[in-house]
Structure 1
Amino acid sequence: MKKRVVITGLGVVAPNGVGIPAFTHALQNGISGIRHDSQLEELQFSCQIVGQPPISEELKGQYFTELELRGFNSTGILYGVIAGMEAWNNAGLSINENPDWDSGAIFGAGTSGIDKFRESIYKIDELQVRRLGSTVVAQTMNSGVSAYLGGKIGLGNQVTTNSSACTTGTECILMAYDRIRSGQAKRILAGSTSDSGPYIWGGFDALRVCSSKFNESPEEGSRPMSASAAGFVPGSGAGAFVIEDLESALERNATIYAEILGGNVNSGGQRDGGSMTAPNNTAVQRCIKNALENAGIHPHEIDAINGHLTATTKDSLEIENWAKALDRSSSDFPFINSLKSLTGHCLSASGSIESVATVLQLHEGFLFGNKNCSDLHPEIAALIDPSKVLLETIKTNPKIIAKASFGFGDVNACVIFKKFEN
């Protein structure tokens, strides 16, 4: 028999809040984490604002030893370990002396240790290969984040890293869901992380897809669904979950934040309008429809959507795809929001951080507002009732929220979360 799958732990390292209490406060009060970056200005980036989590030396010391921090400069692993360990602790779980054969990790990343790579290249070019240090491989391998977490906790089930661009964080949740639902694990620490810094963000700046008109007013720079949207604001961070079978969660009297009903992952094959950077609309709609079918729910049961919505020209197209896939428009359309208005686009971490926000809305009973969207794009206003795009946080009681991510490479993922009812 297929098992019910629930979320029993949450962790987050976001530009507008490190740790669940700070992040929840930021969501409920519309607090932005987007700031001016003097380094990007010095490097003559067009976009000089970013969403980067503030990490103190004290916080690092809570999760890493002095020895581990010697020569350590992989921000992606740093964010992922902090978020992952918070989720594990938040779930009331302990560190294992022996391998825990029932618990694993599926923790995604887009890259790992870009700054460490750069440091290594310079040392090798200067014939100093022996001075690279003993942790350069662990910091730069893509699976570094899951390997660090697996070792710190003592995980004995599958420990791996997935990577699918901006879809990474949403995909890892469904990978964990499938493994637990099939009985191959009792719990999975799932999440994703993204490195920060100019060597990550530079390529997007070169593509001219980043916001460059708000360098003097950073908090106004990320404008999903807005008529004055001018590109996305690059960001970074990590989000994490302990995903567990219901029986195990109930046995240990765990807090249950939400239930995962199901979802879908697909690709448009970069055909029929899809490309490396553009979505195949048919694939996006199929992904949403198949997610609902897999979850066993009707489109009208969706109370809200947490969209991908990056503040680019694709926002109107995404709304159109949701409307067609759900066969709901105008005043019948669900509420919809985009966390990117508060954090920027956290790339491979976006799906997991945004899913943490989605679960918190279900658990705490609210829907957060869309910052910088008082001038709703006219193409969106023609499709849905503007009141469905909340400008301020409201207290309410959503039961089911759909979360989707659409990434480079024409890859899609949609997961359906439900407020837990035993």
Structure 2
Amino acid sequence: MRRRVVITGMGVCAPNGIGLTDFAEAMALGKSGIRFQPELKELGFGCQIAAKPELNDELLTQYFTPLQLRGLSATGIMYGVIAGTDAWKDAGLTIAEKEQPNWDSGIIFGSGTLGVDKFREAIYQIDDKNVRRLGSTSVIQTMASGVSAYLGGILGCGNQVTTNSSACTTGTEGVLMGYERIASGQAERMLVGSCSDSGPYVWAGFDAMRILPRNYNENPEEASRPMSASAAGFVPGSGAGALVLESLESAQARGAKIYAEILGGSVNSGGQRGDGTMTAPNSEAVQRCISQAVAHAGIQNNDIDTINGHLTATSKDGLEIANWSAALNRSGSDFPYINSFKGLFGHCLSAAGSIECVAALLQFKKSQLFGNVNCTDIHPEITEIISPDRIPQKTILHQPTILAKASFGFGDVNACVIFKRFND
């Protein structure tokens, strides 16, 4: 018999807010974290704006020991440890004693590229024949599972501790991986999340592909325009989001607060067949992913009242709306409310799904639907399918009951998770 799984803790390190309180306020007010980056101008980037959390030494010392900070340059690890540690504390959980790990708690914390700056440093040290100067942390900073390894040691988790990586789908996929482990009885709680490094060595490839907005360097807050007719490409971002998933029995036994329940979901790939490519989704696969998520959750299409889409502010936004409409067999005013958060903090790549899950779940707590900024000119391809009032531009009062959150990533990979308001 499968167990019910709920969310009991959340943490976030986002470009527009670090910590749940600041992040929730920024989301409700439409505060942007997209800024001009002088470094990108100096390097000759066409798009000279990006979104990254603003860290400082005082903040970092609250999460890392002086020894851990020595030589630490992997921003993704910094973001992930902040978000993950905060989620653990938000859930009211304690750190395991030094003598023995917590066998019932595990971690699935994803990443895309990790420790890129450390790789660059290593290349120069090796070329200069200064290998010994790399330091003892170069390996953990550059291995994909470095972030989960850091968190596993900090929290003392003794269940599965691992890292997943599936491009922009990483965070949402990780939620479903953690859900499955608890639902099947293999763990009581799982810290799930994802992170992405900051900096030109991560963002340069996208600038070279000319898929970033180049005409907004002087007004960065208006650059990311999901579902807009004037959308000119996604703004690169970074950060981390984290959620503590827990069996309902465990959460209730310790009197934990509950943000929402996970009903189920689906993960698939379009195989880069049909209209799917390395960078474009196979529409049939997207629709199947959504439909299978609904079926796995044990609900009907018309039960969904809220959608948080992937919606990156590219030419594919209209296609995504068409796929949602086809999968749910809903259109016009019957279509659920839908929003994209990338107008406020850009596309955070491998961290996107987890940060957006945190924001989506905050809407349950706040009884709000966060607005779609920079979407005054909804693309006509979209208004042909759904009514404009389904895409509120500012935050409105709205109590989600069942929310679908999806992510679609490079490599033609998809994930959709169904969240439900917890009321029993």
Q: TM-score, normalised by structure 1?
A: 1.00
Match of 1:111 among 104, 110, 113: 113
Matches within 5 A, 1:1-400: 1-97=1-97, 98-400=100-402
Q: Distance in 1 between matches of 2:400 and 2:114?
A: 36
Q: Distance in 1 between matches of 2:288 and 2:215?
A: 35
Q: Distance in 2 between matches of 1:90 and 1:193?
A: 19
Contact 1:76/1:113 (8 A) holds in 2: yes
Q: Distance in 2 between matches of 1:117 and 1:55?
A: 21
Deviation at 1:373, TM superposition (A): 0.2
Q: Distance in 1 between matches of 2:376 and 2:235?
A: 18
> 2:187 corresponds to which letter in structure 1?
A
Deviation at 1:421, TM superposition (A): 1.5
> 1:140 corresponds to which letter in structure 2?
T
The residue that corresponds to 2:412 in the other structure is 410
Q: Distance in 1 between matches of 2:40 and 2:78?
A: 21
SS of 2:357's equivalent in the other structure is: helix
Encode CA deviations 1:349-375: one digit per residue, 9 max, x unaligned.
000000001111012210000000000
Q: Distance in 2 between matches of 1:382 and 1:233?
A: 26
Deviation at 1:63, TM superposition (A): 0.5
Deviation at 1:398, TM superposition (A): 1.1
Q: Distance in 2 between matches of 1:135 and 1:121?
A: 15
Q: Distance in 1 between matches of 2:398 and 2:274?
A: 40
Q: Distance in 2 between matches of 1:251 and 1:56?
A: 38
Q: Percent identity between the aligned chains?
A: 66
Deviation at 1:102, TM superposition (A): 0.3
Q: Distance in 2 between matches of 1:348 and 1:74?
A: 15
Encode CA deviations 1:101-140: one digit per residue, 9 max, x unaligned.
0000000000110000000000000000111100000110
Q: Distance in 2 between matches of 1:132 and 1:42?
A: 27
SS of 2:414's equivalent in the other structure is: strand
What are the ranges of 5 or more consecutive residues in structure 2 without an aligned counterpart?
none
Q: Distance in 1 between matches of 2:315 and 2:65?
A: 45
SS of 1:270's equivalent in the other structure is: coil
Q: Distance in 2 between matches of 1:40 and 1:132?
A: 26
Q: Distance in 2 between matches of 1:265 and 1:27?
A: 27
Contact 1:305/1:334 (8 A) holds in 2: yes
Contact 1:80/1:238 (8 A) holds in 2: yes
SS of 2:94's equivalent in the other structure is: coil
> 2:179 corresponds to which letter in structure 1?
Y
Q: Distance in 2 between matches of 1:34 and 1:111?
A: 21
Deviation at 1:256, TM superposition (A): 0.3
SS of 2:354's equivalent in the other structure is: helix
Encode CA deviations 1:74-97: one digit per residue, 9 max, x unaligned.
000000000000000000001101
Q: Distance in 1 between matches of 2:325 and 2:292?
A: 15
> 1:124 corresponds to which letter in structure 2?
I
SS of 2:261's equivalent in the other structure is: strand
Deviation at 1:395, TM superposition (A): 1.2
Q: Distance in 2 between matches of 1:205 and 1:278?
A: 17
What are the ranges of 5 or more consecutive residues in structure 1 without an aligned counterpart?
none
Contact 1:363/1:419 (8 A) holds in 2: no
Corresponding pairs, count: 422
SS of 2:62's equivalent in the other structure is: helix
SS of 1:210's equivalent in the other structure is: coil
Bigger mean CA deviation after superposition, 359-368 or 6-15: 359-368
> 1:28 corresponds to which letter in structure 2?
A
Q: Distance in 2 between matches of 1:331 and 1:89?
A: 41
Q: Distance in 1 between matches of 2:398 and 2:17?
A: 22
Q: Distance in 1 between matches of 2:164 and 2:273?
A: 24
Contact 1:100/1:157 (8 A) holds in 2: yes
> 2:366 corresponds to which letter in structure 1?
E
The residue that corresponds to 2:403 in the other structure is 401
Encode CA deviations 1:186-209: one digit per residue, 9 max, x unaligned.
000000000000000000111111
SS of 2:418's equivalent in the other structure is: strand
Encode CA deviations 1:267-303: one digit per residue, 9 max, x unaligned.
0000011010010000000000000000001111111
> 1:287 corresponds to which letter in structure 2?
C
Encode CA deviations 1:307-344: one digit per residue, 9 max, x unaligned.
00000000000000000000000111111100101000
Contact 1:362/1:400 (8 A) holds in 2: no
Bigger mean CA deviation after superposition, 176-185 or 204-213: 204-213
Contact 1:109/1:161 (8 A) holds in 2: yes
> 1:198 corresponds to which letter in structure 2?
P
Contact 1:222/1:233 (8 A) holds in 2: yes
